[in-house]
């Protein structure tokens, strides 16, 4: 079972990342225009050159010959020549493992500090009357950080306040540390981040700002004619490649407005296996009592002693992910609306074990979790406004002069976030992007059953506790 998933894990990353350097990459999108700017959140790549050395794409080489590019130099995959089975337990694994866990431990405190931002974004993006919802809080954080870099004055300060950062230098440090802790490319774990800029070849930009984005945010850059078939095709190819093609239902609609000034695209692709897999032979049919009625689902089962966090409003169980963090399942108490859990003050306590917290206990858990795949796309404009970023939405107040001296009248006219998550007996797969468009004018003998056969909330964390994905499953089809 684990072998099958390990084989699938090699589909993205390794040679695919190298291909992304010359052909296409893998994740979301952010565009900024004279008529439009889009900023998509959460994948980082390291640009090797301080100066932008533009290369014309060769026809048939992945991107149209009508698009100029400077590709980011991603970190080299670890032990790319090994199979997952060869890697785990090998000296290469233990050498990487020590370094990776050391870095993750450095940013655990940062991830805890960011709980306020994570909670605010989740409350805005997950509470909905439109079915299942899912988002990547980390992805949106990186996207909005890039937006802060191209803004100034009170526009920038409002974005910094929303992100909980004192200044852009602190923001850059945060993104750098989060990148180091959450970019992983081994035969057994993929957590791949990437960013890109899309520029109008006929316009002038502030080189200092573009250079800072390249250096601090690890960005690939593309120049071409906005709205052209060549640039639109390149945009979709890059985004699909960096999200493993998992968000194709949304990326097929992506295009660059002819009035575009700058588009930033950022993505995350994630694939990890359970530390303890579910036995496929134990999976059976069960009824899920969703908001739209009862449906038959494939229910996975696992039993064992594990930590459980229980309050008057929910019970939470975490399942470890090999070399990564964990996936946490929150089952509301009977009579409690699952949406209220998003703003529950104890939500993140279930992610960080505290032996002095009496809500923790360690029973024998008979765990039943449905196989599911959920995806959603959400408009972010009202979320941005509610989180205090108002100047950026007003053409009379927005300040994007760090991007271009001709920035008068630019404002955020569109923003969206798309994400998906899927779990099965082997592990977890997820992808996300954020798009922002700027336009002008102790052990117990107790035994419990944890049966997720009704709406529940989930979180997926990185090793450092960063919230990579979160969502609410209301119905399963």
- pLDDT tens figures, 392-404: 999 889 898 888 7
Question: What DSSP element (H or E) covers 272?
Answer: strand 260-273
Residue 174: C-alpha distances to residues 54, 179, 279 (Å): 29, 8, 39
Sign of CA dihedral 244, 250, 255, 259: negative
CA atoms within 13 A on the CB side of 370: 26
Residue 208 tokens read as 């200092």
Res 132: pLDDT: 94
Which segments in the chain show pLDDT lower than 50? 1-8, 10-51, 58-61, 442-443
CA distance 263 to 215: 17
**Tokens 């992983």, residue located:** 184
Nearest to 1 by CA among 189, 218, 281, 375: 281
Question: Is residue 376 within 8 Å of residue 132, measured between CB atoms?
Answer: yes
| Rounded distance between C-alpha atoms, residue 174 and residue 155, angstroms | 20
DSSP H/E element including 104: helix 91-106
Q: Topology of domain 280-370+442-473, per CATH?
A: Alpha-1-antitrypsin; domain 1 (2.30.39)
CA distance 39 to 82: 36
> Strand, coil or helix: what is 155?
helix
* Per-residue confidence (pLDDT) for residue 31, from 0 to 100: 38
CATH number for the domain formed by residue range(s) 2-273+375-439: 3.30.497.10
- Return the pLDDT at 53: 63
pTM of the model: 0.85
- Cα–Cα distance measured from residue 338 to residue 472, given in angstroms and rounded to the nearest whole number: 8
pLDDT at 62: 58
Domain boundaries, the chain: 2-273+375-439, 280-370+442-473
**C-alpha–C-alpha distance, residues 348 and 460, integer Å:** 12
pLDDT at 282: 96
Residues for the chain: how many in total? 477
Which residues are CB-contacts of 392 (< 8 A; sequence separation ≥ 6)?
147, 151, 155, 158, 159, 384, 398, 411, 412
Whether 2-273+375-439 and 280-370+442-473 share one fold: the answer is no
> If DSSP codes are grouped into helix, strand and coil, which group holds residue 153?
helix
- 467 DSSP β-pair partners: 461
Name the phi and psi angles at 155, rounded to 5: -60, -50
Bridge partners of 37? 32, 262
pLDDT for residue 52: 53
Residues facing residue 25 across a β-bridge: none
């Amino acid at each position: 079972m684990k072998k099958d998933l390990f084989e699938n894990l090699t589909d993205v990353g390794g040679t695919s990342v190298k291909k992304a350097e010359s052909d296409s990459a893998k994740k979301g999108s952010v565009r900024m225009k004279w008529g439009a700017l889009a900023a998509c959140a959460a994948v980082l790549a390291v640009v090797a050159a301080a100066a932008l050395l533009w290369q014309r794409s060769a026809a048939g080489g992945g991107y149209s010959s009508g698009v100029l590019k400077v590709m980011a130099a991603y970190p080299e995959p670890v032990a790319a020549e090994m199979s997952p089975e060869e890697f785990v337990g090998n000296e290469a694994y233990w050498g990487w493992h020590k370094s990776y866990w050391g870095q993750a431990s450095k940013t655990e405190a940062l991830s805890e500090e960011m709980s306020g931002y994570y909670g605010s974004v989740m409350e805005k993006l997950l509470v909905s009357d439109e079915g299942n919802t899912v988002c990547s809080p980390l992805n949106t954080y990186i996207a909005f950080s890039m937006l802060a870099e191209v803004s100034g004055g009170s526009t920038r300060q409002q974005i910094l306040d929303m992100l909980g950062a004192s200044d852009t230098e602190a923001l850059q440090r945060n993104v750098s540390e989060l990148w180091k802790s959450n970019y992983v490319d081994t035969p057994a774990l993929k957590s791949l981040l990437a960013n890109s800029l899309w520029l109008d070849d006929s316009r002038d930009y502030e080189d200092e700002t573009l250079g800072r984005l390249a250096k601090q945010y690890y960005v690939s850059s593309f120049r071409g004619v906005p709205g052209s078939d060549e640039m639109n095709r390149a945009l979709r190819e890059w985004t699909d490649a960096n999200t493993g093609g998992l968000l194709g239902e949304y990326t097929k609609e992506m295009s660059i407005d002819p009035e575009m000034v700058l588009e930033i695209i950022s993505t995350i692709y994630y694939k990890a296996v359970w530390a303890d897999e579910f036995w496929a032979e134990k999976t059976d049919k069960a009824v899920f009592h969703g908001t739209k009625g009862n449906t038959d689902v494939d229910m996975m089962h696992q039993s064992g002693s594990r930590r459980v966090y229980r309050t008057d409003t929910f019970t939470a169980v975490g399942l470890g992910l090999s070399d990564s963090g964990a996936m946490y399942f929150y089952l509301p108490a009977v009579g409690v609306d699952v949406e209220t859990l998003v703003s529950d003050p104890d939500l993140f306590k279930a992610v960080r074990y505290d032996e002095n917290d009496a809500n923790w206990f360690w029973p024998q858990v008979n765990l039943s979790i449905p196989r599911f795949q959920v995806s959603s796309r959400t408009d972010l404009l009202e979320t941005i406004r509610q989180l205090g970023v108002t100047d950026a939405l007003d053409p009379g107040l927005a300040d994007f002069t760090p991007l271009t001296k001709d920035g008068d009248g630019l404002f955020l006219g569109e923003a969206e976030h798309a994400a998906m998550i899927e779990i099965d007996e082997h592990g977890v797969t997820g992808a996300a992007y954020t798009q922002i468009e700027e336009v002008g004018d102790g052990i117990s003998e107790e035994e419990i059953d944890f049966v997720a056969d009704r709406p529940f909330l989930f979180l997926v964390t990185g090793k450092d506790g960063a919230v990579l994905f979160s969502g609410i499953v209301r119905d399963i089809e």
